[in-house]
């Protein structure tokens, strides 16, 4: 296939999906440090987690009739937790700190106020807020973006020296200069962009990836605790943390009729760097540790699945990785801007060359 035909394919794929790609890149940029920004504006200091105080706050919510589905760290400052619950048929998010103090009580119907903007942007970035339809749209969009970047590399590589030289040509036409910078900037950000986008595509279809890899999250068998005393949440937290010394609490799932145990998610030493750890501990109501998953020693297939989120968000590289992830978002926006400018210049030249009627 000749370059002119490839160029046409590259151009029209870009034009057809450019708006969607801009929205993906912009929303990804906005949520890259969402927890840090939200916690900053909320103004709460980092707080050490007191298991008994946290239990007291949870008990108070339950006493008011709240049905808590899960509790997660905010991902920003230490000791900030969000309890996701249902109250009188309404989904709400309640912020609690590690000392058991209630910080914020927000309806999930809010889209922008009380920090809800970050959750709205996250849901938009994942699915356009269209449910399964949005996931399919973004999967197709991501695959086309990935293939379009590869197509651009394939077309530009044989002419890389010439394209690079365009950026140094004095008094060159704007279209030539733009073409040179489009290649040069594109080549600089190519590799990290391919990694981030590929991980995002796989994360979009995480269930399919896990099924393909044969990854299954094991759960204990249902236990019968109809007789005898049961342990408190505080004791269960301490039991889970004791399984992996030096670990920090990430998430809590409380017992239910179907799940007669506490499920804890921890960020344990030695596991892949990420804000939300992948180590899991199931503690029975009698205080016995029923099942654990050590993310630091995951099987190879599970390690691949667990890497998708930290790779896509850059968390696998700590702060530096998250900054690189931000740079990829900026790179995408710059590349789309340069591409649109090139297309507009071509249209203007074609119009100027057309004979007058």
Of 126, 124, 111, 116, residue with least CA distance to 41: 116
Average pLDDT, integer, range 31-36: 96
pLDDT above 70 (res 201): yes
Is the CATH number 3.30.310 carried by domain 35-125?
A: yes
Higher-confidence residue of 105 and 178: namely 105
Q: Residue 168: pLDDT band by 50, 70, 90 thresholds?
A: low
340 versus 327: which is more confidently predicted? Answer: 327
* Domain 35-125 shares a fold with domain 213-313: no
CA 182, chain centre distance (Å): 28
The pTM of the full predicted model, rounded to 2 decimals, is 0.89
Given a contact cutoff of 8 angstroms between Cβ atoms, the answer to whether 97 and 47 are in contact is yes
* CA 212 – CA 221 distance, rounded (Å): 25
Q: Mean pLDDT throughout 267-291?
A: 95
The residue ranges of every structural domain in the chain are 3-34+126-212+319-352, 35-125, 213-313
End-to-end CA distance of the chain: 36
Q: What is the percent of the chain with per-residue pLDDT over 90, rounded to a whole number?
A: 72
Instruction: Tell me the average pLDDT across 87-91.
Output: 96
- Kindly tell me if the per-residue pLDDT of 153 is higher than 70: yes
Q: Spell out a b/e string for 245-266, using b for 16 or more CB atoms within 10 Å of the CB, else e.
A: eebebbbbbbbeeeebbbbbbb
Q: What are the tens digits of pLDDT across the range 112-139?
A: 999 999 999 999 999 999 999 999 999 9
* Lowest mean per-residue pLDDT among 72-76, 173-177, 335-339: 173-177
Domain 213-313 has CATH 3.40.630: no
Kindly indicate the confidence band of residue 59, based on its pLDDT and cuts at 50, 70 and 90.
very high
Tens of pLDDT, residues 233-269? 999 999 999 999 999 999 999 999 889 999 999 999 9
Where residue 152 falls among pLDDT bands split at 50, 70, 90?
confident
Reference 119, options 139, 95, 150; nearest CA is 95
């Amino acid at each position: 296939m000749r370059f002119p035909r490839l160029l046409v394919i590259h151009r029209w794929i870009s034009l057809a999906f450019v708006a969607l790609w801009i929205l993906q890149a912009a929303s990804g940029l906005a949520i890259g440090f969402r927890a840090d920004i939200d916690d900053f504006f909320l103004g709460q200091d980092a707080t050490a987690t007191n298991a008994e105080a946290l239990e007291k706050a949870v008990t108070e919510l339950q006493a008011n009739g709240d049905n808590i589905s899960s509790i997660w760290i905010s991902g920003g400052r230490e000791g900030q937790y969000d309890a996701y619950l249902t109250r009188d048929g309404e989904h709400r998010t309640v912020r609690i700190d590690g000392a058991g103090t209630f910080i914020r009580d927000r309806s999930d119907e809010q889209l922008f106020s009380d920090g809800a903007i970050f959750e709205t942007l996250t849901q938009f970035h994942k699915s356009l807020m269209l449910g399964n339809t949005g996931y399919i749209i973004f999967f197709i969009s991501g695959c086309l973006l990935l293939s379009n970047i590869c197509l651009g590399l394939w077309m530009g590589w044989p002419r890389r020296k010439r394209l690079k030289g365009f950026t140094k040509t004095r008094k060159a036409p704007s279209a030539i200069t733009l073409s040179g910078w489009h290649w040069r900037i594109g080549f600089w950000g190519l590799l990290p962009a391919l990694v981030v986008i590929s991980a995002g595509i796989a994360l979009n279809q995480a269930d399919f990836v896990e099924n393909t890899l044969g990854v299954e999250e094991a759960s204990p068998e249902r236990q019968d605790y109809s007789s005898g005393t049961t342990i408190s949440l505080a004791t269960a937290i301490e039991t889970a943390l004791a399984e992996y010394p030096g670990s920090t609490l990430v998430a809590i799932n409380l017992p239910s009729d179907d799940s007669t145990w506490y499920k804890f998610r921890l960020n344990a030493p030695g596991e892949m760097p990420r804000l939300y750890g992948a180590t899991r501990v199931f503690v029975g109501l009698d205080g016995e540790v029923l099942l654990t998953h050590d993310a630091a020693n995951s099987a190879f297939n599970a390690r691949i699945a667990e890497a998708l989120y930290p790779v896509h968000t850059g968390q696998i590289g700590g702060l530096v990785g998250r900054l690189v992830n931000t740079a990829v978002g900026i790179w995408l926006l710059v590349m789309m801007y340069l591409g649109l400018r090139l297309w507009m210049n071509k249209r203007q030249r074609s119009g100027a060359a057309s004979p007058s009627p």
